[in-house]
């Protein structure tokens, strides 16, 4: 495969006797939009945790942008350009949008001085990055709003903005549209669709209508393993996917 930005080789994540991720190998080309689908408990979030560093793989190897990151902690991976959103909302509800963004940016900064005593230049740079991320997620006019006053859909847009503010090369979105109304879902889809093509995006999502219209390629996980990998056009008709994911009987 030409120029993969992310390569997993035989990655295993075990929790006691359970192999939540059970020997996953996959390669994602730079700039690709990839969906990870699969039934509840298939290991999708655990796979994200292994890529982002929240959970160390039990075995296997993860290479990101030419760096072996298998054993690196999350903040080192973030600095290399891996960013993520969470399946469960992870915002500070009583702070403003802008303050949530500043905390995300400073928390990710490699320099303590930068976080504590930002010079005017650095602050201007921060402000620019925040404005860009808010524009990309269509909430530029909400910067001063307290997060808990926003709709749930806008909060999910803010989570993507927070993930973008560190200018990542790889964005991992864990069910970004879960729990949203149809109009909120189509807003999230628009946001994802219009992301800079330089950013590689991997999206976990149960909503097939949303996901299959967004991605170039799909990986279906089942019981911690890659069951199927193919372009979105064939996924709905794939008998294995129908059987495990859509809960339909196989007519093979």
Which residues of the chain form contacts with ligand ATP (CB under 6 A)? 15, 18, 20, 38, 40-46, 87
Choose among Mg ion, ligand ATP, none what residue 81 binds, the Cβ cut-off being 5 to 8 Å by kind. none
Cα–Cα distance measured from residue 211 to residue 175, given in angstroms and rounded to the nearest whole number: 10
What lies within 8 Å, CB to CB, of 180 at 6+ separation is: 152, 153, 156, 188
Give me the least distance between CB of 221 and ligand ATP, in Å please.
Answer: 7
Give me the least distance between CB of 174 and ligand ATP, in Å please.
Answer: 7
What lies within 8 Å, CB to CB, of 7 at 6+ separation is: 26, 27, 28, 61, 62, 63
Contact residues toward Mg ion (CB under 5 A) are: 44-45, 87
Cα–Cα distance measured from residue 4 to residue 30, given in angstroms and rounded to the nearest whole number: 5
Choose among Mg ion, ligand ATP, none what residue 94 binds, the Cβ cut-off being 5 to 8 Å by kind. none
Give me the least distance between CB of 155 and Mg ion, in Å please.
Answer: 18
Give me the least distance between CB of 18 and ligand ATP, in Å please.
Answer: 6
What lies within 8 Å, CB to CB, of 107 at 6+ separation is: 115
Cα–Cα distance measured from residue 212 to residue 233, given in angstroms and rounded to the nearest whole number: 8
- Pick between residue 52 and residue 130 the one whose CB is nearest to ligand ATP: 52
- Pick between residue 108 and residue 211 the one whose CB is nearest to Mg ion: 211
Choose among ligand ATP, Mg ion, none what residue 118 binds, the Cβ cut-off being 5 to 8 Å by kind. none
- Pick between residue 53 and residue 97 the one whose CB is nearest to ligand ATP: 53
- List of E strands, 77-183: 82-84, 170-174
């Amino acid at each position: 495969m030409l120029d993969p930005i992310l390569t997993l080789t035989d990655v295993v994540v075990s929790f006691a006797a359970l192999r939540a991720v059970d020997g996953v190998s996959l390669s994602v080309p730079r700039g690709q939009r990839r969906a990870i689908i699969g039934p509840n408990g298939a290991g999708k979030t655990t796979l994200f945790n292994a890529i982002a560093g929240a959970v160390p793989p039990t075995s296997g190897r993860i290479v990101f942008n030419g760096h072996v990151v298998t054993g690196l902690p999350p903040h080192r991976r973030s600095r290399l350009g891996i960013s993520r959103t969470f399946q469960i909302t992870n915002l500070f509800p009583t702070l403003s949008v802008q303050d949530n963004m500043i905390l995300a940016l400073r928390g990710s900064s490699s320099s303590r001085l930068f976080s504590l005593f930002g010079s005017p230049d650095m602050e201007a740079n921060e402000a620019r990055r925040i404005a860009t991320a808010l524009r990309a997620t269509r909430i530029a006019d909400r910067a001063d709003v307290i997060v808990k006053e926003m709709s749930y859909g806008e909060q999910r847009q803010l989570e993507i903005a927070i993930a973008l503010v560190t200018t990542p090369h790889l964005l991992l979105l864990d069910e970004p549209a879960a729990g949203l109304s149809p109009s909120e879902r189509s807003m999230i889809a628009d946001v994802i669709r219009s992301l800079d093509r330089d950013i590689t995006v991997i999206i976990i999502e149960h909503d097939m209508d949303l996901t299959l219209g967004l991605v170039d390629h799909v990986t279906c996980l089942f019981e911690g393993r890659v069951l199927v990998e193919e372009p979105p056009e064939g996924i709905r008709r794939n008998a294995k996917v129908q059987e495990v994911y859509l809960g339909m009987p196989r007519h093979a």
